[in-house]
Amino acid sequence: MAKSAEEENQQKAFGWAATDNSGILSPFNFSRRENGDDDVTLKILYCGVCHSDLHTLRNDWGFSFYPVVPGHEISGVVTKVGKNVTKFNIGDRVGVGVLVGSCKTCECCEQDLENYCPRIIFTYNSYNPDGTKNYGGYSDMIVVDQRYVLRFPDNLPLDAGAPLLCAGITVYSPMKYYGMTEAGKHLGVAGLGGLGHVAVKIGKAFGLKVTVISSSPQKESEAINRLGADSFLVSNDPEKMKSAIGTMDYIIDTVSAVHPLLPLLTLLKVNGKLVTVGLPNKPLELPVFPLVMGRKLIGGSDVGGMKETQEMLDFCAKHNITADIELIRIEEINTAMERLAKSDVRYRFVIDVANSLSQ
């Protein structure tokens, strides 16, 4: 039986997907588009496991479209390039992050802020303009427009470097935009998970004094001895929090659970900045008094554009920054998700896709 025109432009792919809000992943056959003139096809070698994957699998945010193949911390090698592709060659080490498309013509896109484009196309749980659905990196291969593919520096490992494509740029971008990079200044990092541990490393690379703010006192030794933080502040210890009032220039808040902002705001100096990058599933209460009385700023940030993400990868390679990872096989992913929900990971799961994904 002859293939339809649509089928002719598709190729087989294989991954793991969730089909409902139980979030349980299982093997899944699906299709990707054939490599177009502007496209790059890559064989996926590794894919990081982001907290956003867990939220999406369980429909915590209310906009999951099943089946969902998660994964937006993708690293691999180029296997095919379109005739218009000038940036990449077969065999190149590359990555794909949170987005795979945008309109390319709006003000945001023209300013290399594709991540804020009103017509952004996410790597998974998203639809293309032609109505086809996107599936993420818990799979064997992916086809992406060359604009949204990133080059991995030679000395940046593909496994421990993969989480930088989300966790790394999520903390690097606000630090650059909000001016949180002045050497000698004091940075607080709230939350020591996938985002927080990378924020500590990037903060130290900028020459900042870094204090980890956490409700888990057992993480103190890791924060200081393993990650390089200068100090550790237990957020549920009233005396220690009181002693740190007004000592920090900046705080990057990576906590994805509902939590009070007032204790963090009190830690800031006059003119201090609190930038939140976590995504709790319920609104946070914003106390205005400390903002007004201390001329303090609270802001947000969401990953980064393609130019800045490449800049971040190059910065991390220069400073030997990678994520601390636990490498897992794809068949271990459901157990990993259960552990992630309990914050039982140091500090990012990465799936060894090439060595464990098979039909």
Determine if residue 344 is left, alpha or beta; phi over 0 gives left, psi from -120 to 50 gives alpha, anything else beta.
beta
When pLDDT is averaged across residues 86-98 and rounded to a whole number, the result is 97
Whether 311 is in a domain gets the answer: no
* pLDDT at residue 4, rounded to an integer: 44
Q: DSSP E strands: which ranges in the chain? A: 10-18, 25-33, 39-49, 74-81, 93-96, 99-101, 121-122, 126-127, 133-134, 141-145, 150-151, 186-190, 209-214, 231-234, 248-253, 268-276, 297-300, 325-328, 348-352
Contact (Cβ atoms closer than 8 angstroms) between residue 188 and residue 233: yes
Q: The CATH number of the domain where 211 resides is what?
A: 3.40.50.720
**Is the C-alpha dihedral spanning 179, 183, 186, 187 positive or negative?**
positive
Q: Do 143 and 234 fall into the same domain?
A: no
Alpha helix (H) ranges present in 58-125? 107-110
CATH number for the domain spanning 119: value is 3.90.180.10
Q: Please check whether residue 198 lies inside any domain of the structure.
A: yes
- pLDDT of 287 > 80? The answer is yes
Does 203 lie in the same domain as 113?
A: no
Domain co-membership, 31 together with 121:
yes
Question: Are 49 and 179 in the same domain?
Answer: no
Q: What do you get for the CA distance between the two ends of the chain, in Å?
A: 25
Number of neighbouring beta carbons within 10 Å of residue 63: 9
| Alpha-helical runs (H) found in 138-229 | 158-161, 167-177, 194-205, 220-221
Residues 135 and 181 in one domain: no
Same domain, 187 and 162: no
Q: Please count the structural domains in the chain.
A: 2
Residue 143 three-state SS: strand
> What is the domain extent for residue 58?
11-166+323-357
162 lies in the same domain as 217: no
160 pLDDT higher than 90 = yes
Digit-coded pLDDT (tens) for 170-181: 999 999 999 999
Same domain? For 93 and 187 the reply is: no
pLDDT tens-digit map of 55-90: 999 998 899 999 999 999 999 999 999 999 999 999
Check whether residue 192 and residue 225 sit in a common domain.
Answer: yes
257 lies in some domain: yes
* pTM reported for the whole predicted model: 0.94
φ, ψ for residue 272 (rounded to 5)?
-70, 160
Amino acid at 283: P
Assigned domain for 310 exists: no
Residue 273 lies in a domain: yes
Provide the token pair at 250: 């900046």
- Report yes or no on 79 lying in a domain: yes
Q: Are residues 15 and 162 in the same domain?
A: yes
Confidence of residue 9 (pLDDT cuts 50, 70, 90): confident
Q: Are residues 36 and 119 in the same domain?
A: yes
The pLDDT of residue 2 is above 50: no
Task: Using the predicted structure, report yes or no on whether residue 186 has a pLDDT greater than 90.
Answer: yes
Are 152 and 175 in the same domain? no
Structure tokens at 324: 């601390």
Domain assignment of residue 217, yes or no: yes
Q: What is the pLDDT of residues 24-60, one digit of tens each?
A: 999 999 999 999 999 999 999 999 999 999 999 999 8
Question: Average model confidence (pLDDT) for the chain?
Answer: 94
- The Cα 268–Cα 274 span in angstroms is 8
